[in-house]
Amino acid sequence: SEQKIRMFMTILQLINDRMEAALNAAGAQGAPAIIQLSSKLEFGDYQANGVMAAAKNLRMNPRELAQKVVAALDLKGVANKIEIAGPGFINIHLDSAFLARRNETALKDEHLGVTLPPPLKLMVEYSSPNLAKEMHVGHLRSTIIGDALARVLEFLGHDVVRANHVGDWGTQFGMLTAYLLETGNANNVAMALSDLETFYRNAKVRFDESEDFANRSRDYVVRLQRGDPEVLALWRQFVEVSIAHAQDIYDKLGVGLKREHVRGESAYNADLPMVVSDLQDAALLSDNDGTKVVYLEEFRTQENQAMGVIIQKKDGGYLYTTTDISAIRYRHRMLGLQRVIYVVDARQSQHFQQLFTICRRAGFAPADMALEHIAFGTMMGDDGKPFKTRSGGVVKLADLLDEADERAYTLVSQKNPELPEDKKRHIAHVVGIGAVKYADLSKSRTSDYIFNWESMLSFEGNTAPYLQYAYTRVQSVFRKVDDYDADASILILEPAEKQLAVALAQFEDVVLGVAEAGYLHHLCQYLYQIATLFSRFYEACPILKSEGAVRASRLQLAALTARTLKTGLDLLGIEVLEEM
């Protein structure tokens, strides 16, 4: 049965199951074990924290309960030392032979030994810029975090639908159309929009200065919504040009968004009247002097009234939320998604909580369809204010990514002046983009983070260049070896080997945790730990100077380290290099 358990459970799940059985046997029926990876070496490898709460419920002394639990705990073949610490923590030290087998299994498996969960059909919605403007840094976090999350979920075998819910509908298109026609550019849209940002700015100036222009703009909005072929044709071109701009950015960033993942707000337009009538039928809609509103008791206004979410304005116009409701309805009925993940700025939190509540109540999203807002904070400049150009303008993403390449190129040229030019350029690109992505992913997404070129491009500390370099260092070992045996057994003898082996065996629990809660910084932290433990191991346990089975085993640990780093970085959307 040991064999069977190993195949179907992660270490965390295994310890959890055994610990809960022990809690039951000790009289704490149904108490959660609360197993975590230990934060410090002296706390063992895994830690159970559930005893304290269980003892409180039973009105028992927690250390006494802990002793009973440990006496009943069966971790034969898994742990070789179990200790009680503090008020009743249980620290678990894994058995070296058990670890060695896990590591060997990981080495032979294309998923590095990760226990794959039951596959789901799920969607990661990310990037989702408003079109008609160039992409700016405000879109970076969603694009990077969403892509990494999609990669993690795909790695775990889920059927992942990527969605780019672009803002391609709304009043700004009336303004742009008016400006296009006024400047005589209707036959030359691509050309006129080659600098999208300037075009938009100029149109806005006209809109603000001329009443007549503003009226024409409004008229185009109405015509667009009515489906006037001339206006529709121009609008289509705006959208295509903007999407092409965005695609350039996605390609530069190496994110997996393609044209076919775009399904913009406009795609839901035709369904909006149905959303309204469905809400009406579900008796959720109130008519407030011609405005159609859903009142939500669980959201309160400052005056402690039920909050109203507007579904349709008096003039018949629909809102951002109406489109989002329609999208959920579509995603359930047409796509049959079981989990939908929205990677969107934290400032839209309330919007999503209200959206989800309405969709549940209206039956657009059944209870077993998970809806999650993966929120993130704002990207700040060194001055602690939202990131801007020196002159205070919005930073275009295209410029930011070019700067990443340039800065990395300078670094690479200093480090390695002899490299041929094209190689330097390639390394610079991989390092520069990796640095930008990793700087974002390695911070807890829920807080704001400070964008700083020097720290993200440093070869020391928790950065992409450090990890990429660590990977090439491990690989360099293999360039000096001509007798690597991919089937050799792993022997865990020294403390530095044990620490590395434990960390390597935790890959699956880390990845599964990320897939659940979307905290990619846990994976970053983990990879950084692997790189650090590898250097300690490398110093304490000579590889090439050792012999026989020990040498073969150490090479295996190095091989698993390299694969773990490479796979982990790949999940983050970051490339590695064989040499740098």
> Minimum Å distance from CB 141 to ligand ARG?
12
Nearer to ligand ARG, 186 or 394 (CB): 394
Q: Per rule CB under 6 A, is residue 172 in the interface with ligand ARG?
A: no
> What is the number of helices (H) and of strands (E) in the chain?
22, 13
Hey, is 412 helix, strand or coil? helix
Kindly state the smallest distance separating residue 138's Cβ from ligand ARG, in Å. Answer: 8
Work out whether 167 is an interface residue with ligand ARG (CB under 6 A): yes
The first and second tokens of residue 190, run together, are: 């691509």
Residue of 394, 435, 393, 389 lying closest to 412 (CA atoms) = 435
Question: Coil, strand, or helix at residue 291?
Answer: strand
Looking only at the bridges linking them, the beta strands covering 379-380 and 449-450 are parallel
Number of residues that bind ligand ARG (CB under 6 A): 9
> Quick check: 424 binds ligand ARG (CB under 6 A)?
no
* Residue 20 lies near ligand ARG (rule: CB under 6 A): no
Contacts for 275-284 with beta carbons within 8 Å, 24 or more apart?
A: 275/311, 275/322, 275/325, 275/326, 275/329, 276/311, 276/312, 276/322, 278/329, 278/362, 278/364, 279/311, 279/325, 279/358, 279/362, 282/361, 282/362, 282/363, 284/358, 284/361, 284/362
128 counts as binding ligand ARG under rule CB under 6 A:
yes
Closest CB to ligand ARG among residues 115, 130: 130
Our finding on whether 354 is near ligand ARG (CB under 6 A) is: no
**Distance of closest approach, residue 140 Cβ to ligand ARG, in angstroms:** 12
Contact indicator for 465, 449 with CB cutoff of 8 Å: no
Q: Is 522 in the site for ligand ARG (CB under 6 A)?
A: no
Pairwise CA distance, residues 438 & 464, whole Å: 6
Q: What's the half-sphere exposure (Cβ side, CA atoms, 13 Å) at 415?
A: 17
The binder of ligand ARG chosen from 344, 371, 492, 555 (CB under 6 A): 344
Which of 59, 87, 76, 61 minimizes the C-alpha distance to 22? Answer: 76
Piece in contact with ligand ARG (CB under 6 A), picked from 52-60, 126-134, 456-464, 553-561 = 126-134
Contact status: 141 vs ligand ARG (CB under 6 A): no
Examine residue 458 and tell whether it contacts ligand ARG (CB under 6 A).
Answer: no
278 lies in the binding site for ligand ARG (CB under 6 A): no
Task: Choose the binding region for ligand ARG from 86-94, 128-136, 375-383, 391-399 (rule: CB under 6 A).
Answer: 128-136
Q: Please identify, using beta-carbon distances, which residue of 143 and 475 lies nearer to ligand ARG.
A: 143
Tokens representing 35 are: 């197993």
Which one, 324 or 497, has the nearer CB to ligand ARG?
324
**Residue 241 CB, nearest approach to ligand ARG (Å):** 17
State the Cα–Cα distance between residues 493 and 105, nearest whole angstrom.
Answer: 19
Q: Which two tokens stand for residue 192?
A: 């006129």
Nearer to ligand ARG, 376 or 471 (CB): 376
CA-closest candidate to residue 109, choices 504, 528, 464: 504
Paired sense of beta strands 89-94 and 46-48, if any: antiparallel
- Under rule CB under 6 A, residue 165 binds ligand ARG: yes
**130 lines the binding site for ligand ARG (CB under 6 A):** yes
| Piece in contact with ligand ARG (CB under 6 A), picked from 60-68, 127-135, 185-193, 563-571 | 127-135
Asked if 342 is part of the footprint of ligand ARG (rule: CB under 6 A), the reply reads yes
269 binds ligand ARG (CB under 6 A): no
Q: Backbone phi, then psi, for 61, in 5-degree steps? A: -70, 125
Listed ranges 125-133, 231-239, 521-529, 564-572: which one lies at the site for ligand ARG (CB under 6 A): 125-133
Nearest to 398 by CA among 164, 194, 168, 180: 194
Least distance (Å) between residue 321 CB and ligand ARG: 9
Residue 168 binds ligand ARG, judged by CB under 6 A: no
Token pair listed for 504:
């390597």
Q: Is 324 in the site for ligand ARG (CB under 6 A)?
A: yes
Q: Which residues bind ligand ARG (CB under 6 A)?
A: 125, 128-130, 165, 167, 324, 342, 344
